[in-house]
Amino acid sequence: MNSDAKQQLADFFQQLEVEKRASPHTIKSYQFDIQHLITYCSAKNLEKWADVQQADIRAHIASRHRQGISSKSLQRELSAIRSFYRYLLKNQLVEVNPAHYVKAPKAARLLPKTLDVDQITGLLEAGTSSDLEIRDVAMFELFYSSGLRLSELAALDLNDLDLADKSLLVRAGKGGKARLLPVGSKAITAINAWLAQRKTLAIGETAVFTSNRGFRLGHRSIELRLERWCKTKGITERVYPHKLRHSFASHLLESSQDLSAVQELLGHSSLSTTQIYTHLNFQHLAEVYDNAHPRAKKKSTVEK
């Protein structure tokens, strides 16, 4: 790039720092991302930012993709380039934003990991040997029973539970939305067992789940208790709170086929978010088909 182009880029970063008050991390990321475009422009003998066309941006992103750069990283690079060209447009240094309509390649959609029913049973019925393990089982049962997020379980207060009605209230789910959820009988039994122990541990604390010193359990403490539970009970599968939530959604959808109900129970604002669990069910059906259908099986030996 020529000296004017380099100065324009320097002015852009100066604006980000002074006027936009962008963090040093953001500025460093922008510099890193736009440097890749500069490398491309140098290879193509493009001296001015106005010389860069939409086809160049597409070719640049395609080249980066072939290098193995992830879709998420390419989206970030495009965001930096668009921001820079918006600055150039605003200052009448270019006439168009060549990155405006360019999109990064779509990332492969990763399906959520779940446990099967037998694995859930083994996890939740491994047996307790202390008051804290009684508490832990109540937490794990509730994750699976009601599909709670980690933050929702940690924030749960005693007055959010209505065990007689077999329900609980999530006061502030994702997006600040409240929702009323059913609680299964196994979870109710586990919670009652914990509440009987809790009386001597937590005095004046509103949280349902507390430490042995009577304070509300934090997110990381809950995660660590689940890790510890699996380790001490000989469970080799890696289990984390959101996997229990995924398992809740997958098993419920598999049994009910009611996508809207599962959406409401999970607290998803969009049905498309919940639809990922239909892919899990199809994946299971496809495996059953491959293993069972006579015309799907691969013959292990060649007939002569």
- Residue 255 one-letter amino acid: S
* Residue count (the chain): 304
Residue 123: its H or E element = helix 117-124
- The contacts found for 240-246 with CB under 8 angstroms, 24 or more apart, are 241/143, 241/149, 241/150, 241/153, 242/112, 242/149, 242/150, 243/112, 243/113, 243/114, 243/115, 244/115, 244/120, 244/140, 244/143, 244/144, 245/143, 245/147, 245/148, 245/149, 246/112, 246/113, 246/114, 246/277
Question: What are 29's two structure tokens?
Answer: 């990321």
**String of DSSP letters for 234-255:** T--S---HHHHHHHHHHHHHHH
Q: How many CB atoms lie within 10 A of CB 98?
A: 21
* Beta strand residue intervals within the chain, DSSP E: 161-162, 167-170, 179-182
Q: Which two tokens stand for residue 182?
A: 């059913």
Measured CA to CA, the distance from residue 264 to residue 92 in angstroms comes to 49
Give catalytic residue positions.
149, 174, 242, 245, 268, 277
